[in-house]
Structure 1
Amino acid sequence: MAARILVLGAGYSGLVAARLTARHRDARVTLVNASDRFVERVRLHQVATGQDVRTRPIAELLGGAPVEFVVGRVTAIDAERREAELADGRRLGYDTLVYALGSRSDVESVPGAAEHAFPLATADDAVRLRERLADNDAVTVVGGGLTGIESATELAETRPDLAVRLLTDGRLGAALSDRGRRHLRRVFDRLGVEVLEDARVAEVRADGVLLTGGEHVPAGTVVWTAGFRVPDLARQAGFAVDERGRMLVDAALRSVSHPEVYAIGDAAVMRRQGGQELRMACATGLPAARHVARAIRQGLGRRAPGPFRFRYVNQCVSLGRRDALVQYVRADDSPVEFVLTGRLAALYKEAIVRSALAAQRHPGLVALTPGGGPSRARVDLPG
């Protein structure tokens, strides 16, 4: 009898994991997602600025893969019965669970953010922000991570009539090399994006934000990219989680409390062999998905799954449509001074983003993901 493999979440990680696992003749794979459309999360800042970004049905990306696709919102997981419950009351059983529910914007940690800020983590978020910007002339982006940087530069380039400001609680581009930070500054200056460093937001108001030092920063629209939250389903189900609710996994990406469960993507705490936590990005999520599919197939063949081996290559940051920054890094994600910038970097980033989407149709392309790649597993991948 075929093993029941249940994959929760059809983002970058979950969709690839489902397709690859379904290649095993002894696996019966069911994929569950709240929407029937695949969201290119790395393009949401483009959607927010009114650019034409095509959305694709998940069924189209699955192609002819032998995967049962279920549209529904997961509301609970019964770890003892090995079932997931959907909002409409359906219950789906599993022998092996792949938990890939991703993350959403954290608008609960700062007063007023949920009421007045515009997050940018879902397709609905991007559309809502786009509609808001139609009648605005000043935008403040809160959050100096890659999402905030990409959003601020995209807004400034696409809408030169907007006054764009970026607030970061540290130094702009803190994770970049000196050359990377200098290029970032040049682009921000060219686009006219104002930067406030060491700016911690205490409250979001209808007319802007209040900083911890008491300063009021006015804004017609506040874009919120400062942190993410994960669903609380893993904690509620009794799986071992960290203080943020992300599932704790072992070297093979299995739950440390429930070995029949694998977790990948933003909703898991994935680490390198030395203990370093991997960043939340499809650069890690896609190789992790391939590893989990391989590990499940090994388990079906009565073999113990091996550890997830991974190294970083670069970080790719779009800075509008005509510029970008490709920051090359060591295996542990620390920056080196070599960077790629300008139009060539923009073309490189666009190619990487397209490859992340192409990997959903052709999972063998996961080696061409943005910013990272497998190490010892590389022999199994093209290119």
Structure 2
Amino acid sequence: MKKIMIIGGGFAGFWSAAGAIRRAIELEKENEVEVTVVSRDSFLNLRPRNYESDLSQVRIPFERILKPIGGKNVEGNVEGIDFDNKTVTVSSSSDTITLSYDKLVLAAGSILQRPNIPGLEEHAFSVDTFQEASNLHQHLDNLVSKKSLAGCYTAIVVGAGFTGLEVAAEMVSMLKHVAEKNGDDPSTVRIVLVDHSDIAPDFNEEAREVIKGALSDLGIESYTKVAVQSISEDSVVLSNGEKLPALTTIWTAGVKASPLTSLFPVERDNFDRLPVDQFLRVIGTEDVYAAGDCIRVLTDETNVAMMSCQHASPQGKFVGYNVVSDLFEKDSLPYGHPYYVTCLDLGEWGALLTEGWDRKVMMKGKDAKEVKIDVNTKFIAPPLDDKEEILKESQPNYIYTFEDF
């Protein structure tokens, strides 16, 4: 039995497993391959949805997507990799085990960057993981006991990139709901975006003006070209000396690859991502592939893949195909993903749909919001309890385009 071990249970990890199983079936080798996903829990977290006001649909049990296709799941944290003996050490709350592999896939994703700012670790919330998003929701529920304090209904969102914008826009309605539930005036809600650069720095000028207009309509304030100096339980101090009373601070400023990339004896980029070749094999290793936020790879001749599920999912599908092809000495497929689209949720205002690496505005407002809802509820999640449909979507060329929306 050939063993394929996949470290990470996010988009890249799950689709690596599905792609591998699909390729094994194609080659009539499904009884000769064992596919195991090692992850911290038994869920696929739809991480791009962690900003939402309702978290009930942002996790999918592996029992409904991995089990139907014959994949296995081991819960635990990877503590070490022995590349010479092809083993991985995994620890859980009750045990530490060593697992062997024939082919290894690192799909451990990325983590939020948390710089050494006084009070950040103790007092700032995030939506980086399901648990951290749940902690934020619990905090908002607990504001009823602090309603008399200054800044009770003020939220400071640090980072005005994609995630920060979505968080800030969603917080408008979330905090208004909390205020109303607590019997207070929702007009007292204040949302402030803080960024050391500009609002939506990765968007072009046309898209940025749409975003700024939406923020204005939502009543969201912006502080740009300024950094956070310190964070306390009830305020944020900026580098310009201004102190903003706020009981809620949410940090969204930047991500880097999983710390597990440090276990690899290769040179990483400034985001700690691993180098891979066109077949998504980790350069400088043997029998190791990688996909998702933990790799640096070109999607076409000039553009580097983004650290997002839009690229992680198809990369997983390519890896799954290639790792099984490699096992049985069949031709692999070079990775490519020339199409790029973004849909930015802007809360009650609507959304912004862009196409291409220059982020050309294709749709905005309420119409784009309908697209965003479809993206979040239909496109990024795998089919449930349906082996045939899951394996159909695990084809390496199964990529959505603008026409699908």
Aligned residues: 368
Report the Cα offset of residue 36 of structure 1: 1.4
**Residue-by-residue CA offset, 1:121-155 (whole Å, 9 max, x unaligned):** 11110111111123131100001111100000011
SS at 1:226's partner residue?
coil
2:272 is the alignment partner of 1:245: yes
Change beyond 3 A, Cα 1:359–1:104: farther
**Residue-by-residue CA offset, 1:159-187 (whole Å, 9 max, x unaligned):** 33331111122221222233322221222
What are the within-5 Å matches in structure 2 for residues 127-166 of structure 1?
127-134=134-141, 135=143, 136-160=152-176, 161=186, 162-166=189-193
User: Which of 28, 42, 49 does residue 48 from structure 2 map onto?
Assistant: 42
Q: TM-score normalised to the size of structure 2?
A: 0.84
Contact 2:15 2:314 survives alignment (8 Å): no
2:281 is the alignment partner of 1:254: yes
Report the Cα offset of residue 56 of structure 1: 2.5
Change beyond 3 A, Cα 1:274–1:203: farther
2:296 is the alignment partner of 1:280: no
SS at 1:233's partner residue?
helix
Name the counterpart of 2:15.
Answer: 16
Percent identity, please: 25
**Which 5+ residue runs of structure 2 have no aligned equivalent?**
144-151, 177-185
2:358 is the alignment partner of 1:334: yes
Report the Cα offset of residue 316 of structure 1: 0.9
Report the Cα offset of residue 370 of structure 1: 7.2
Contact 1:316 1:371 survives alignment (8 Å): no
Change beyond 3 A, Cα 1:70–1:51: closer
Q: TM-score normalised to the size of structure 1?
A: 0.88
Change beyond 3 A, Cα 1:340–1:108: same
Q: Quick one: distance in 2 between partners of 1:165 and 1:244?
A: 27
Change beyond 3 A, Cα 1:240–1:129: same
CA RMSD of aligned residues (A): 2.5
Partner letter of residue 63 of structure 2?
A: A
What are the within-5 Å matches in structure 2 for residues 1-383 of structure 1?
2-23=1-22, 24=24, 25=29, 26-46=32-52, 49-50=53-54, 52-53=56-57, 55-87=59-91, 88-134=95-141, 135=143, 136-160=152-176, 161=186, 162-320=189-347, 323-329=350-356, 333-336=357-360, 338-353=361-376, 354-358=378-382, 362-365=390-393
**Residue-by-residue CA offset, 1:252-285 (whole Å, 9 max, x unaligned):** 1111111411111112222234353211111100
SS at 1:287's partner residue?
helix
Q: Quick one: distance in 1 between partners of 2:402 and 2:88?
A: 32
Contact 2:36 2:72 survives alignment (8 Å): yes
Q: Quick one: distance in 2 between partners of 1:8 and 1:372?
A: 31
SS at 2:172's partner residue?
helix
Partner letter of residue 117 of structure 1?
A: A
Q: Quick one: distance in 2 between partners of 1:277 and 1:351?
A: 26
**Residue-by-residue CA offset, 1:85-128 (whole Å, 9 max, x unaligned):** 11131111111111011122222443331122112111110111
SS at 1:280's partner residue?
coil
Change beyond 3 A, Cα 1:370–1:182: farther
Partner letter of residue 132 of structure 1?
A: H
Name whichever of 24-33 and 283-292 sits farther off. Answer: 24-33
Q: Quick one: distance in 2 between partners of 1:96 and 1:82?
A: 8
Higher relative contact order (CA 8 A, sep 6+): 2
